[in-house]
Amino acid sequence: MRKVLKIEGIPLTEGHSGLYLEVEDGVVKEGFYFALVPVRGFETLLIDKEAISAPIITSRICGLCQVTHAIASARAVEAAAGIEVPPEAELLREVLGLAVRVYNNFLHQIVISEDLFPEKDERFSFIKRVQRVRKFTGELLETLGGEIIHSPNVRVGGISEPVEDSIREKLLSSIEEIEPLVRELYEEFTTGIDRMWEREGLDETFGSHDLPFFSTDKFYGKPFDFNRITFKYPQELFEGELKREVTNLYPFIDGLPVETGPRARKVLFEGYRPKGGVKELHILRALENLEALERIREILENHSFNGELWNRTFPTSDGETLGVGVHEAPRGTNLHAVKLDKSGKITYYKIVVPTEINLIAISRALRGVPASKVEFVVRAYDPCIVCAVH
């Protein structure tokens, strides 16, 4: 028996989204995951604004992905204007981005904890200890970025405030204290995932797809040719009511839909051979918490940030040069592209975010999944729908 299901408001995810499912005998034959959040028009809002305001404005796209947008935006403006950033400032940005990675990844674990730990006492114990780690990463963001949420210290040209060695040493001491807890939580989380898979009767390939992977770097973000990206509108992909309701675009890399995020980084930069299902996506995201903390410690141990970290050159360009800024966000590769005129005003702005890239990957991963289990696939990608429509 064939039927069509339409689900709006996917719980335990960020932002309002929907699922369109073609189901036969209880199994998804075709599925589409999409955004229903109204477009706010940040790209249009930025036109004619001074380029130095771009990191400030774009960090308001989302309260979860704020620092990653500020970093990608600043790097895009710097690329367009040919501004050299002090190497220590780039390293400090990397630390901020990795702190946000840990902060967001653990928030995702809290959000889905009810799936993993049905018993209230066990769940609350897990959440309390997760919040201890998030408190530390929040303090790190506030200390280095100026605020937990919007990090005003991230500026075009670098970082506006130096960091005294005494502060850096204090952060390193805190990392030593918190790292054993992060390892403990990793083991507990992965055990919870294993138990959930057994309880729900899911196999290792549940939620698999055959799409290629996309990422630019393991930790920070490398230059990328923006011309490799093309877009399709919902009107090109859907029939009927979805043409009118879907609010996101669909980016393609080299003409293909791709998956970005923790698994892509493992595959492309560590030679990881994926099993294919979404279970490993949960585990690899949790593993990135440990790796991010280790990288933060490595940077803080080996570098000093008490000198000038800000190239204050006012950004201008020729109106034609496209500057591309890349940051490997918690959910995958985040890209900003900008053109500036000779007065330093923005003439073009485009944003491509990880969840936007992953929407087709999520849709493909729904094929062959029992209709009663589709939300488990969606949650594994930790979608940030507000970012996806910016």
Binding residues for Ni(2+): 65, 384
Q: Which residues are annotated as a binding site?
A: 43, 62, 65, 351, 384, 387, 390
Helix, strand, coil tally for the chain in percent (to 5):
50, 20, 35
Residue 263's closest CA among 208, 189, 193, 186?
208
d(CA 234, CA 246): 6
d(CA 91, CA 221): 11
Token pair 């209709």: residue:
371
Return the number of other C-beta atoms located less than 10 Å from residue 180's C-beta: 9
Q: Which residues are annotated as a binding site for Fe cation?
A: 65, 387
Structure tokens at 285: 């995201």
Residue 330's closest CA among 57, 68, 151, 12?
68
Q: Which amino acid is at 264?
A: A
Q: Which residues are annotated as a binding site for Mg(2+)?
A: 43, 62, 351, 390
Contacts 24+ apart (CB under 8 A), 301-305: 301/172, 303/88, 303/91, 304/88, 304/165, 304/168, 305/88, 305/91, 305/92, 305/159, 305/162, 305/163, 305/168
Q: Is 333 helix (H, G, I), strand (E, B) or coil?
A: strand
